[in-house]
Structure 1
């Protein structure tokens, strides 16, 4: 589709959506006062303009809606080396996806945003690049929780957030079915590489240091980072990594990825060319049943032996990443974000049906009645709901982080582990804490946010967040809580229980 025309027609709408989406993080302001203090700068790719939010820290400037690449459907991106930016101060659109949480949406979604405390080239501030979550299928950095102003101001860092292609647009593996699209299974990853290449070329003009780039991401964003750590084309483009509740131990195998592509194409319709089908038809086909897992079809990075030639953390940590300091974190009750109280998993939950309820959710083949018995003996006063979340979190959501931390430790590579216990943290709770964007925080929440931001920023500056690296002798872990502390091997009993069963990442 015609990207320039689409963006031109939607620029005003994008600006309005960005402002409306940011209302949760910023007080309402009159339309004529929405931006102040425009600054222009010249970078190698050309001139960019800033729009500083009226009530943002006054020293921080936001350069929103910067195009970093273009791409034809299912093809590798092509870098844009001539400055191009959304008009009206708006963010770029989100990739097309199911649901309408993020608007506007467009295939032409390869845009990034920069927040900087100053544009002096000599400053050479650390650069923190955020990749959003959404399990490779959904999400957008236009979410107000990803506003980089407070993090940039507090840490004296340059913050970059990136949108890229998702779901079928970024990860539909057609290479074994259609020779036109050899890059399709990892197109979304190639977008991220193109964004990092834009940063390498231009970020010095924004006051950032292209030799000190930290990538960080939550959930799917963390998984994207773990995958980049094994992609040769990403080598040397970033220098530190933080993954937040997001791991990628193994990628999709090409045969399973092909089966998923076939299921998607069958849902799309016989004789329909996915290269020319309307966007809406491709999005609708995402409801195809996954032939491996059941549920909606899964898409993610593929071991295509072209762009990804080995699994990120199996059988070991990718050698190209061992010189990159890495921080890995999870929340103590991840799955509290996954299940509705009145959903089939939790409605009427009791000790009689607990084993049956956890069986499909653990995503591993282990005796569920035995697991429940062991957990009830270990936590005799714990109610079924808490046991459900404790069991499924440890079995499904935490295992990948353990695998990656252990692989790094075996390789003798820097790895720092944290666990967010604060307020029985669930999946996504560390995003607002790390950006300083929690709406109406309590004093305790603000203090926790400051603590997390300071650790992330210190890591970006130095490669050391302020606690010992994880090793196999002690398994040192920072527990972020009202009283933060380092513990050796927290949840050791849960880790050892599930270590009886080999870890196979869901979807791969």
Structure 2
């Protein structure tokens, strides 16, 4: 009996050592401009969640939050932006892989989360400012388990920050024609992100961070938001490096005439006259969202009839040219000059959404895949197969011929080519090709698949990564590259082969896999098709 009790005691003490958390009224208290906040310590990392960085009336510009006098408890994530289509059901297997945390919604959603190795210690650590994906319409800072900043903060001695902000119609409805208080409403979501960066500038030193060394990074829609901030004159100086992960979309921002046409259709759908625009501030969100959907459909049809582009994903809510907050198209010389001195790390994952599109073919035979290719590409079938094999000579499964991304990577290559050509700060290109073993390997290098690796969160994301040894080894290499880039603008470290700066001539691309290797661009023929 003594031996059993002793063994249980040893086991119990081991659990405590692994999962110790420190909380209390005087634990992790940090002052901010609006009032003091209290966090908790887990794994040696001070953690703060749901701190207000701004507030705003619906459709109005953000401003600093009302101050509070007591110490504000900051233990749990704050509200997320209301969604156009609330999740009421999911696909079982893919939901297992992504393991979403949907959160609770509230229009008062401007919140910041912070992970830091130390407070009040005089250190100035690099700040890694994470912007979530979900396009410009959905998502949150807590949506995926990979977004947790604890391991990245601990590994790199950096401060990790993530934010929630207004999205969809709440962040992008252009009411500028209906009153001065709505002057910036077409880009309020972008102003929210700027407000969060200003919060970092004014408060992050108290959390052990360096406001003069801030890296913005984001994936998918978050990567597109990184590009947006790089083209925003008033955001210049609030960040110093940028990482764009699968977010270099090539469609142009909407014009003022289009955004105002969308708003006119929203007003029409709600039977509101121009002098009733203030009524939009009180309409229930689901009613407003449905009116927005109708308006987008109407204007998309008008643009299509006029022979004008409606964007690769169709007409949707997002940043637009307003002549003030965003005066330039992101690919314009003026916008590129704004971010000329910002080092850029940019890349995509090998398969992105392609495995979803071809899920029925995941275990198809070579003959079945050949039939699909012949039907899809006709006279170009042989050229297509040759181009895929040239780009990825180590493919092994028949379905690999179908599952190569051609939606995200072309934009990343184009952006890297253009930015590297202006002779400013360096550009580094990556391609994540690691194949997940989960569900018989059919998800491959899927969209979001690199996130557990750059955040060093394999254990939190076993459903996506499998949690095997190879995943941990690659995560160690990738997270260190992201950390080094945030520190000095260069991702090189001794765990990787030499990673050259990218230009349109050398097209040097780090392939991130079980064996990491630098290759030139091998998919030019595929892009041409």
TM-score (norm 1): 0.80
Change (3 A) 1:297 1:128: same
Change (3 A) 1:121 1:334: same
Shift of 1:296: 7.3
1:418 to 412, 430, 436: 430
Question: 1:69 aligns to what SS in structure 2?
Answer: coil
Give the ranges of 4+ consecutive aligned residues of structure 1 lying more than 6 Å apart after TM superposition. Answer: 380-384
Say whether residues 1:275 and 2:286 are aligned partners.
no
CA displacement, residues 241-271 of structure 1 (integer Å, 9 cap, x when unaligned): 0011012543222233334444545555666
Q: Which is further off, 412-421 or 194-203?
A: 412-421
Correspondence for 2:7: none
The CA RMSD measured in Å over matched residues stands at 3.1
Correspondence for 1:6: none
Say whether residues 1:198 and 2:199 are aligned partners.
yes
Distance 2:382 2:267 in 1: 44
Correspondence for 1:402: 413
Correspondence for 1:320: 338
Distance 1:449 1:102 in 2: 25
**Preserved contact between residue 65 and residue 86 of structure 1 (Cα < 8 Å):** no
Say whether residues 1:308 and 2:310 are aligned partners.
no
Shift of 1:156: 0.4
2:475 to 449, 461, 467: 449
Correspondence for 1:182: 183
Shift of 1:353: 5.8
Question: 2:192 aligns to what SS in structure 1?
Answer: helix
Distance 1:389 1:447 in 2: 25
Say whether residues 1:49 and 2:38 are aligned partners.
yes
Correspondence for 2:500: 468
Change (3 A) 1:142 1:43: same
Shift of 1:452: 1.1
Larger CA Rg, structure 1 vs 2: 2
Question: 1:160 aligns to what SS in structure 2?
Answer: strand
Q: Which is further off, 182-191 or 246-255?
A: 246-255
Shift of 1:110: 0.4
Correspondence for 2:125: 125
How many residue pairs were aligned?
447
Change (3 A) 1:372 1:169: farther
Change (3 A) 1:484 1:108: same
Distance 1:428 1:400 in 2: 17
Question: 1:470 aligns to what SS in structure 2?
Answer: coil
Correspondence for 2:97: none
- Give the 5 Å matches for 1:56-95: 56-57=42-43, 59-80=44-65, 82=67, 87=73, 89-95=75-81
Give the unaligned 5+ runs of structure 2. 1-14, 88-100, 304-309, 390-394, 436-443, 493-498
**Preserved contact between residue 41 and residue 49 of structure 1 (Cα < 8 Å):** yes
Distance 1:161 1:50 in 2: 15
Give the unaligned 5+ runs of structure 1. 1-27, 358-367, 499-508
- Give the 5 Å matches for 1:213-292: 213-249=214-250, 250-268=252-270, 273-288=279-294, 290=297, 291=300
CA displacement, residues 211-256 of structure 1 (integer Å, 9 cap, x when unaligned): 0000110101110010111111101000000011012543222233
Change (3 A) 1:258 1:384: farther
Change (3 A) 1:47 1:281: same
Distance 2:162 2:355 in 1: 23
Shift of 1:437: 2.3
